[in-house]
Structure 1
Amino acid sequence: MAIISSKVFGVKLVDITNDKKSRNDESVAKFEISIKFGDDVPLSNTATTKPVLKQKLQGMLPVAPAPVNALAPAPDYTLDPSISTETLPRKILRIIQSYGKNEPDPSGSLWLGMNKFDPIVQKHVADGEPIRMVLPAFPWKSVNKVDKVLGKLPDFGEELALARLNQLCNDIGEIYEHGAEVTITSDGLVYSDLVGIEDEEVFEYGAALREMAVQKGFTNIRFTRIMDLLGLNDKATVSKSEYLSLVDECRKQLMERYLPAGFDARDELLQNQDANSTYCGYIIFLTKDLQYNTKISTDNAGEEVKRPVSGQEYRRRVKRVALDMITRGKAFAAVIESQMPNYVRLSIHRSTGLTKLSFPLIPQEDSFSKTPWHTCVLVTASGQFRTEHAVDLREKHELVYKNGRPYFFREKCAIRRGEALGEVEQSILSCHC
């Protein structure tokens, strides 16, 4: 067994292969990786590794870390002379901003929405309350489970994403005694019927995500469902049967109560740059996903054997679904704004940053960030976390399991079968992951 960890961001690697037969099976790598906060396992290089781990999680460094001897200390927001004269609320917003990546300035040095959220943070500070943020996200795993993802349930991608959100709150807690919290409002039911995801699958994904947050000790993460926002449920926990009984009413009330009168998705795309960016993102992932939704990809005009639709018709149907998602997204954004007005709004979509902060869940060096529910994670030999589609990783990379389920891919050279314990520890430590 090898354990690597730090107080800021640690990786624990546990060899869970117990029998000789499994150990000799090169086709399956059975290791458990978990992220922990609060542990302090004294290891050589731990002190120099901490800043990289924290900054990498935050997204302030490139994905590929610098050599250990070239590492700079982790940022100290209380001592930075460039912000030392700012108010506490503005310092807090600077920390939130440092996690973002908005379109006008991908470096994060400009956030057009800072003035919008300044009064909200000021009120939290004046009232002595946690800084509250909200993120609509984590719907379900992609319907394309052949090419894109490893299964129906959360895996290492979601674990890294939750860890980054939790670390944002920890960073705020370093300068503000009341800390911060992020509420995840799942948008799964908003779109699931449009793309062909069963309602039960939405529930099971959400339940597993909540369990993951508890097991990993991500105490700054909160969850709320659409039925909670609509006032259809006031229970902290809800059973699957209760959840399923509310699904149709949720969608009905969402559109009736919160879609602006006369809303037209096409007009929205012409007038709203953020909506247009979101629509373009929808087109990209729907083109791959909807081929596995036979209601979209085939002509189901009564024949027993369904025929694939033409390429032109398929593209037309994809655009129709994307427009429907823009329409429902407008209503979903309205209910969040109505029920959670005093929250700093985060988003997993590209945006100008005027009304929200675009927040990469797993920062990538060469792109904004693919969401973990549309990808899987590749852990490279150098310690990078790459978000890729499963079809692009299966042949050349090693699949790692956790609790009997596929969890992430790893470069085969990252940990070689038969290495001594000390070599395994050094291999992971050198990855800065």
Structure 2
Amino acid sequence: MSGLSSHQIAREIFAELLPYRRRFPDPILDRHSEEQEVAAIQIPRLQAFIERGETITCVLPAFPTKSPNPNKVLGTLPDMAERLSLSFLNHLCQRIQLHYAPGMRILICSDGHVFGDLIRVPDPAIDAYQAHIEQLILELGATHLGVFHLGMVAGMAEFCASRDFDTLREQLVERYAEPLAQISEEVKTTEEGVRLYRAMTRFLYEDSQLPDTPLSNTALQRDAKSRTHAVIQRSRAWGNLLAERFPAAIRLSIHPQASHSLKMGIHMLPTRDDWLTPWHGVAANLDGQFVLMKRRDVLALEHELVHIHGRPSHYLIHSKQAAA
């Protein structure tokens, strides 16, 4: 190991992570003060791994399943958006190993079955997506990435094996969830809660805007709002399970996080929307750089669909155009 102290190494590792942070802008703190607050939380947690000489473990609830809305995505299986994101995460771990030999390992905690019924994606489609994610990790040689899902949890694995996902979700809520009334109150009374509620409602609303839906936008919005609290409840239950299973792990998130949060939001691809993820968008090669966009925004530009191994992969945007 280098002559640096564990604190100095932790600071170097934090400096590798910071440029990719998904910000949840603080109403009072400026960006520098925000980053200092994030550092005060994350650096001691990184330092604890270093002092034990252990590989730094991160948990990232992510890669659940593709959005069911073809206006946002190319299909039901992983494509270039996931490939680039997984490659980025593995490369990030490789860079961290330059500072700390035991390195970092990120566990992809696939959470599709956690709320598949609420986002209205069939469980077999979630199985297929997650199997392709695991295969993609192998194809990429992404040795710093691993997977964790409900099928690996004692007391729940049997429900995965028997394909009884409804009971699986009931068990998760019973053992790890906060009451819906508590969540409902929080999303009304805190700024973070209000923003989360609005973002989750927007996701559910957009995902329900299917080309053949007979419902009006007003009806779709009402339906989305009726599911939002339960989605937040299940998502937090999954987070509580992960915190119990991996108490020391660095907790990454695909959503923007407040600077005082134990979680640190992380971008995996450039995007102008801090809430957009690879499974809610498509990869578009814009002037030589891949960016994440919604499919309908790509279709409004001059574009070409690229296939790899006979499957839609990503878009090439021919001329210099702004990604809306």
Tell me the TM-score normalized by structure 1: 0.66
CA-to-aligned-CA distance 1:8-38 (integer Å, 9 cap, x gap): xxxxxxxxxxxxxxxxxxxxxxxxxxxxxxx
Summarize the Cα distance change of 1:188–1:272 in structure 2 as closer, same or farther, 3 Å threshold.
farther
Q: Give the match for residue 252 of structure 2.
A: 346
SS in 2 for 1:87: helix
- CA contact under 8 A between 1:136 and 1:187: conserved in structure 2? yes
- CA contact under 8 A between 2:150 and 2:160: conserved in structure 1? no
In structure 2, give the amino acid aligned to 1:386: V
Match of 2:19 among 98, 113, 118: 98
| Deviation of the 1:100 alpha carbon | 1.1
Match of 1:135 among 50, 60, 64: 60
In 1, the alpha carbon distance for the partners of 2:239 and 2:144 equals 23
| Deviation of the 1:384 alpha carbon | 2.0
In 1, the alpha carbon distance for the partners of 2:77 and 2:240 equals 28
Superposition RMSD on alpha carbons, in Å?
A: 2.8
SS in 1 for 2:37: coil
CA-to-aligned-CA distance 1:194-229 (integer Å, 9 cap, x gap): 121000000110010111111011111110002324
- CA contact under 8 A between 2:65 and 2:76: conserved in structure 1? yes
| Deviation of the 1:370 alpha carbon | 1.7
Q: Give the match for residue 182 of structure 1.
A: 106
- CA contact under 8 A between 1:134 and 1:345: conserved in structure 2? yes
Residue 282 of structure 2 is aligned to residue 376 of structure 1: yes
Residue 22 of structure 2 is aligned to residue 115 of structure 1: no
In 2, the alpha carbon distance for the partners of 1:388 and 1:242 equals 33
In 1, the alpha carbon distance for the partners of 2:94 and 2:160 equals 34
In structure 1, give the amino acid aligned to 2:13: I
Tell me the TM-score normalized by structure 2: 0.86
| Deviation of the 1:369 alpha carbon | 5.5
- The structure with the larger Rg is 1
Please, which runs of 5 or more residues in structure 1 have no aligned partner? 1-77, 235-240, 298-307, 415-433
| Deviation of the 1:259 alpha carbon | 1.3
| Deviation of the 1:158 alpha carbon | 0.4
Q: Give the match for residue 357 of structure 1.
A: 264
| Deviation of the 1:309 alpha carbon | 4.0
| Deviation of the 1:334 alpha carbon | 1.2
Summarize the Cα distance change of 1:255–1:86 in structure 2 as closer, same or farther, 3 Å threshold.
closer
Please, which runs of 5 or more residues in structure 2 have no aligned partner? none
Identity %: 30
- CA contact under 8 A between 2:61 and 2:111: conserved in structure 1? yes
| Deviation of the 1:329 alpha carbon | 1.7
In structure 2, give the amino acid aligned to 1:348: I
SS in 2 for 1:176: coil
| Deviation of the 1:141 alpha carbon | 0.5
Q: Mapping of 1:180-329 within 5 angstroms? A: 180-229=104-153, 231-233=155-157, 243=161, 245-261=163-179, 263-292=181-210, 308-329=214-235
- CA contact under 8 A between 1:278 and 1:350: conserved in structure 2? no
Summarize the Cα distance change of 1:400–1:106 in structure 2 as closer, same or farther, 3 Å threshold.
farther
Query: Which structure features the higher share of helix residues?
Result: 2
SS in 2 for 1:148: coil
In structure 1, give the amino acid aligned to 2:296: V
In structure 1, give the amino acid aligned to 2:47: Q
CA-to-aligned-CA distance 1:22-59 (integer Å, 9 cap, x gap): xxxxxxxxxxxxxxxxxxxxxxxxxxxxxxxxxxxxxx
In 1, the alpha carbon distance for the partners of 2:269 and 2:105 equals 19
| Deviation of the 1:109 alpha carbon | 7.0
| Deviation of the 1:271 alpha carbon | 4.5
CA-to-aligned-CA distance 1:63-107 (integer Å, 9 cap, x gap): xxxxxxxxxxxxxxx99xxx9995322332332223213223668
In 2, the alpha carbon distance for the partners of 1:88 and 1:263 equals 43
SS in 2 for 1:227: helix
In 1, the alpha carbon distance for the partners of 2:246 and 2:211 equals 34
CA-to-aligned-CA distance 1:345-381 (integer Å, 9 cap, x gap): 11111121322111012123x442521111111102x
In 1, the alpha carbon distance for the partners of 2:275 and 2:217 equals 28
Residue 77 of structure 2 is aligned to residue 150 of structure 1: no
- CA contact under 8 A between 1:95 and 1:172: conserved in structure 2? yes
Match of 1:159 among 83, 88, 94: 83
In 2, the alpha carbon distance for the partners of 1:111 and 1:200 equals 44
Q: How many residues align?
A: 313
Summarize the Cα distance change of 1:185–1:272 in structure 2 as closer, same or farther, 3 Å threshold.
farther
| Deviation of the 1:283 alpha carbon | 2.0
In 1, the alpha carbon distance for the partners of 2:84 and 2:93 equals 15
- CA contact under 8 A between 1:98 and 1:108: conserved in structure 2? no
In structure 1, give the amino acid aligned to 2:186: E
